Amino acid sequence: MRSQLLLIPGWKPILALGLPIVIGVGALVGAYFYSSAAGAAAVLVPPAGAGLELPPPAGLLVDVVGAVAHPGLYRVPRGDRVYDAIAAAGGLSAEADPTRLPNLAGRLTDGEQVKVPFVSGATGGTVVTRTNLNQATAEELALVPGFTEAFAQEVVDYRANYGGFQSTSELVEILGMSESDFIIARRYLTL
């Protein structure tokens, strides 16, 4: 009598013996990769208090203008109030009108402009002198907030070579002035 396990030509005995072996090897390989992936994930997670330093939140950018000691752009923490922005700008100046102040307890939002009004008839700081971008000398342009002496010279050179500016925004588009410097300087420029 012949044994049923004898290998005879054909595919059925090979399949009957090979399939369980292939499934077993596949299960072992899958278990190996699963355990190594789980171990790697456990290694990547640092224990609590391991000295990781997260960067501080960027905060809010606010523009404080008017009757303050140092008007300009200030970065303040999220959740700060209008009072904090005025304090960052050096506090109220002597020409500030205390009866028309903004809501000092109001929460700040990113990009907000805090306007501190002057006393009626006060002459300090209410007049903004504008510099003509197409006619000013390099020395006059260097006095504009947001300009450096080198950038003022670039403006004069551009004007001499290309005939002047059509818009103040060309300072950013053509000469590469930073957006933050342009926001400050545009109040003091005219064409």
Domain boundaries, the chain: 60-116, 131-190
Superfamily of domain 131-190: Tex RuvX-like domain-like (1.10.150.310)
Q: Which amino acid is at 91?
A: G
Give the residue-averaged pLDDT of 71-87: 88
> 60-116, what's its fold?
Ubiquitin-like (UB roll) (3.10.20)
The size of the chain, in residues, is 191
134 close to 191: Cβ distance less than 8 angstroms: yes
Q: Give the DSSP letter of residue 50.
A: S
Q: Decide which of 177 and 86 is more confident.
A: 86
CB atoms within 10 A of CB 99: 7
Most confident of 34-38, 98-102, 107-111, 148-152: 107-111
The model's pLDDT over 142-162, given as tens digits with 9 standing for 90+, comes to: 877 777 888 888 888 888 888
Strands 131-132 and 113-116: unpaired
